[in-house]
Amino acid sequence: MHIHILGICGTFMGSLAVLAKESGLTVTGCDEGVYPPMSTQLERQGIELHEGFDIQQLALGADLFVIGNAISRGNPLLEEILNRGLPYTSGPQMLADHVLPGKWVLAAAGTHGKTTTSTMLAWILDFAGMDPGFLIGGVPHNFECSARLGSTPFFVIEADEYDSAFFDKRSKFVHYRPRTFIFNNLEYDHADIFPDLAAIQTQFHHVIRTIPQNGRVIFPQAVPAIDEVLAKGYWTETEGFTESSDPDFASEAPGFRKLEADGGAFEICHGQQRAEVRWELTGDHNVNNGVAAMLAARHVGVTFDVSAKALSCFEGVKRRMERLADLDGIRIYDDFAHHPTAIKSTLAGLRASVGDERIVALIEPRSNTMRMGIHEHTLLESAEQADQVIWADLSGMDWLREQVAERGSPHCYGSSVEQLLAMTCEAVQGPAHVVVMSNGGFAGIHQRLIAALGNLGGVA
């Protein structure tokens, strides 16, 4: 069977393309404004990629069209598919029909950290010799690509609450029917499709309704938004975890404590089982992600000791505080943070790690929720750990310019790539940690910034 994927360079659809090709299907796809790392992953997999949505792509003779959720009515290729009555489906439905039947699905869900947590979990199971399948909405460093079928029933998936397609407004994860479900956090997001937090909670309740009795829901305790979802009902075992500051803590319920302030080491405990993790990651958010992944792995028989060894050599995910360059006293990172909570936690982890060293944050608020100004009153304060914050507005957000003007130093505002490059170079002025944050391609600014900053002092 030949499938043609519309929106193939999206993180989910690109990973689905890899699985489809591995399962023996002929896979082609199309997208526009493509950028790494997903575009380069598709090239490495030998998947034919077409730029744009020209109706001439119908001549490829696909048997089924898989429609990404970024594709809307009015798209010329989609309209011609509909006019001709050609078969189509959504990405999540394609996955549910062709990949997930018979699998023990371990799903990582939540507003933040889905990609990192699912990657950690897949790596733990792989390290334990369980050869899991997985689909991750990013490109993990520990694996050659973002998806594979695996040779065992275990399948790890990043469980996104965003809608499935233009014709299916259910959350993607409702299709997955997980047995092990990580419910890592929950805040209001995706304001373009959800009117309020309650609407998102309804979708989480819907997926919990599909978890079998012999499954498990893993979650941090004392998170009101999560507690409210669970109060709607559940029919499976639940396992809440919490943080402790007691060095001698022990509990029948799972818990953890940080061993280093920046999150570079932590200990997990559940009854008589203990293990210590020392790794390259920082930030409270990553500690929580790691604990959740270890508990999920434990549900399928992996001990804490094995999980801790796996995480000690976990290399992370592209665009999650990925160090792009180490220049003469200047380190440049790429991060996907697209919500005030994620920005705050990431920068706090870096601050705890580098102490008083200078941090410059270059942030593009690009998500639909950001552009709508939903977080305008909490966004600027989320970057308070940086010494200088440069806000990038490449789409005309009046509210952002007004907020920056009102707040003043250390915040500033730029509306073109050239202006942003000049502002960042001026802000660095010597050794610094430069964190570039965006959930998009950011107009290719990363390599231009490396070149510009390298010219200031030369590569070390």
Domain ranges of the chain: 2-91, 100-312, 322-457
Q: Do the beta carbons of residue 60 and residue 28 sit within 8 Å?
A: yes
Task: Assign a CATH topology to domain 2-91.
Answer: Rossmann fold (3.40.50)
Q: What is the pLDDT of residues 352-385, one digit of tens each?
A: 888 899 999 998 887 666 666 666 677 888 888 8
Q: Do the beta carbons of residue 394 and residue 421 sit within 8 Å?
A: no
Q: Do the beta carbons of residue 12 and residue 137 sit within 8 Å?
A: yes
Provide the token pair at 383. Answer: 């970057």
| Average of per-residue pLDDT across 165-187 | 95
Q: Please, which pLDDT band fits residue 193 given cuts at 50, 70 and 90?
A: confident
Q: In angstroms, rounded to a whole number, what is the distance separating the alpha carbons of residues 35 and 9? A: 8
Indicate left, alpha or beta for 190 from its phi (over 0: left) and psi (-120 to 50: alpha).
left
Q: Is 335's pLDDT higher than 90?
A: no
For 3, phi and psi rounded to 5 degrees?
-110, 145
Return the closest-CA partner of residue 115 out of 402, 251, 319, 370: 319
Omega before 410 within 30 of 0, i.e. cis: yes
Asked: is 100-312 a CATH 3.40.640.10 domain? The reply is: no
Task: Assign a CATH topology to domain 322-457.
Answer: Protein-Tyrosine Phosphatase; Chain A (3.90.190)
| Confidence (pLDDT) at 305 | 96
Q: In angstroms, rounded to a whole number, what is the distance separating the alpha carbons of residues 306 and 423? A: 46
Q: Do the beta carbons of residue 204 and residue 229 sit within 8 Å?
A: yes
Chain Cα centroid distance, residue 259? 26
DSSP letters, 35-92, are -TTHHHHHHHTT-EEEES--GGGGGG--SEEEE-TT--TT-HHHHHHHHHT--EEEHH
The answer to which of 174-178, 243-247, 273-277, 290-294 has the lowest mean pLDDT is 243-247
